[in-house]
Amino acid sequence: MLVGKNASGGIALGRALVLSPQEPTIEEGRALDVDREVRRYRTALEKSKAEISRLHGSVLEKLGADKAQIFEAHLLMIEDPELTDAIENSIRGEHLLATKAVKTAGDQFVSLFQAMDDEYLRERALDVQDVTQRVLRNLQGIESVDLTALTEETVLVAHDITPSQMATLSPKVTGIVTEIGGKTSHTAIMARTLDLPAVVGVKNAAGTIRTGDVVVVDGDHGKIFLNPSDADLRAHEKQREDLALQKKSLRALVGLPSVTRDHRTVHLEANIASPLDLQSVLHNDADGIGLFRTEFIYMDRTAAPSEEEQFQIYRSVVEKLGSKPTVIRTLDVGGDKHLPYLNIPHEENPFLGLRAIRYCLKHPEVFKPQLRALLRASVFGDLWVMFPMISGVDEVLAAKAVLEECRRELTAEGKPFRADLRIGIMIEIPSAALLADVLAAHVDFFSIGTTDLIQYVCAVDRMNEAIHDLYDPFHPAVLRLIRNVIAAGERAGITVAMCGEMASNSKLTGVLLGFGLTHFSMAPASILKIRKKIREASFSEAKVAAERVLALGTGREIEKSLS
């Protein structure tokens, strides 16, 4: 058995097809005719751009506009003057042959991304590799692997699978195994969209698994089984059938309200990182978007997105949601999310440093274009603005003052925006949770960010594997703070939501319901599962059970009582 990261859930069976990386030959030596080498490069570049454009059209037809944006990003990347100028300058200035110039410039950009601390940004190195490998193949006339002509159920195994390959998969592909990658990689994102079980980060997968091996992919638990016995194979097939029946039964909940047996209505919303996730939001019948993490649109680039670019992105999202609410969180950088072009100084403890609202208030040149874009997009749907990492009233007032300044500017420019825009804050710092009754007087809603709240309450670095067992969503102190925040919101008459990972933990659904939580926001794939829990629950019984849980002294006792 091999083990990796569970990137896309489900059980897949099939024969392995191990994709060997196509490594073009890199020509060494000195370019004697630099004009010829530049022409070779430009010809390969134009052919590559044409291929990406065709892929864009294919993905647009098969998966929709959201997923096709990956290839729009590839087009931007392949035309990026920093990359193209670096290649041509190497040919002309250093007399490198075209393949050597492309490889050298590509490696430099890949190294830049791979050196970044943030997982999402590290994953973008794959995009650079995809683009530069395509140019190199076209320089040498190497044809890409055709994945459309498979005739039997197949599990793809590779060091990694490029977005280009993902876009051209045959329906016969049942699962994916890669040696690198994480849950935010394009491979993982597209696997979830295609409902393909996937396990990533499997060490030496392409060296251990051979083409033709029978492979079982357990995407829920991140496990790979090689050449199982007939009995084990039948057991996995039965598991796959059971999961298919469960999914089918959950699909029956599409269109039904999330309401308890005693008529308590709950709103189940989705967390997204980009417009690429909208298809899954709609497919899983979310009641809206409870968290749009805007920092991801600042990634994959060398400068912050302009106001106009952001406006178009936000507008596209709220228009597709129609009358459903879209909660958009302002830029949350710092901590484990680094953007090199923002020049945030190195910090010994970045989770306690210059991040999120703290950074934005110190850098209005970054903050204001986003707020202006959000205000302008608000006229196209039910857009709510949320400020992250709030620790006290002063930050709320300061953020609202900048927003008001943007309102005045737009009014003077004759640009419309909604006057009734809802303003809210993340409750993810203990000081904010303790001051919830005071903060409630200044905002329209709270959203509890449990991922960071647990970290700060338990004094546990959530990135530190050595103390991961102390990161406890069942900790009674965490639950008591959450209960107090919800109660403060109820007293003030404002909406209280939860957008952290606890919202999708089905063991805690009843407890949170009993505390009075009415808005849960989670990964789109979890919505129907939690809807089922809500529809089976009784609010009156959940309130009693929640109080009983709070009487317990340890997280272990609480988790055991909820099993």
User: What single string gives the DSSP state of each residue in 157-212?
Assistant: EES---HHHHHT--TTEEEEEESS--TTSHHHHHHHHTT--EEE--TTHHHHS-TT
Instruction: Write out pLDDT tens, residues 317-368.
Output: 999 999 999 999 999 886 555 666 777 777 667 678 878 899 999 999 999 9
Same domain membership, residue 407 and residue 393: yes
Q: Which of 56, 186, 338, 519 is labelled catalytic?
A: 186
Residue 406 is among the residues annotated as catalytic for this protein: no
Q: Which of these three, 85, 106, 140, is where a domain ends?
A: 140
Q: 336 lies in a domain?
A: yes
Exposed/middle/buried for residue 172 (C-beta within 10 Å: 0-12, 13-18, 19+): middle
From residue 509, alpha-carbon distances to 83, 349, 519, 536, 538 in Å are 49, 33, 11, 11, 11
Q: 343 lies in a domain?
A: yes
Same domain membership, residue 161 and residue 108: no
Same domain membership, residue 515 and residue 399: yes
Q: Which residues of the chain have pLDDT under 50?
A: none
The domain spanning residue 89 has which CATH number?
A: 1.10.274.10
Same domain membership, residue 261 and residue 226: no
CA nearest neighbour of 70 among 23, 148, 18, 123 = 123
Q: Is the pTM of this model over 0.75?
A: no
Same domain membership, residue 480 and residue 442: yes
Compute the CA torsion angle 506, 496, 398, 120 (nearest 10 deg).
20
Q: 240 lies in a domain?
A: no
Q: What pLDDT score does 520 carry?
A: 98
Residue 121 corresponds to which tokens in the numbers above? 């940004």
Same domain membership, residue 514 and residue 423: yes
Q: Which of these three, 92, 117, 140, is where a domain ends?
A: 140
Same domain membership, residue 539 and residue 435: yes
Q: 242 lies in a domain?
A: no
- The residue range of the domain holding 388 is 254-562
Distance, in Å, from the CA atom of 289 to the CA atom of 320, rounded to the nearest integer, reads: 11
Q: 235 lies in a domain?
A: no
DSSP label at 71?
A: H
Q: In what order do the strands lie in the sheet with 214-218?
A: 2-3, 223-226, 214-218, 11-19, 154-158, 173-178, 198-200, 5-8
Q: Which of these three, 93, 114, 140, is where a domain ends?
A: 140
Instruction: Write out pLDDT tens, residues 242-291.
Output: 988 888 899 999 999 999 999 999 999 999 877 877 888 998 999 999 99
Same domain membership, residue 134 and residue 161: no
Q: 530 lies in a domain?
A: yes
Same domain membership, residue 412 and residue 304: yes
Contact indicator for 484, 433 with CB cutoff of 8 Å: yes
Q: 245 lies in a domain?
A: no
Contact indicator for 300, 113 with CB cutoff of 8 Å: no
- The total of structural domains in the chain comes to 3
Residue 189 is which amino acid? I
Distance, in Å, from the CA atom of 460 to the CA atom of 452, rounded to the nearest integer, reads: 10
Q: What pLDDT score does 23 carry?
A: 63
The domain spanning residue 489 has which CATH number?
A: 3.20.20.60
Same domain membership, residue 215 and residue 306: no
Same domain membership, residue 157 and residue 133: no
Same domain membership, residue 193 and residue 284: no
The domain spanning residue 175 has which CATH number?
A: 3.50.30.10
Q: 349 lies in a domain?
A: yes
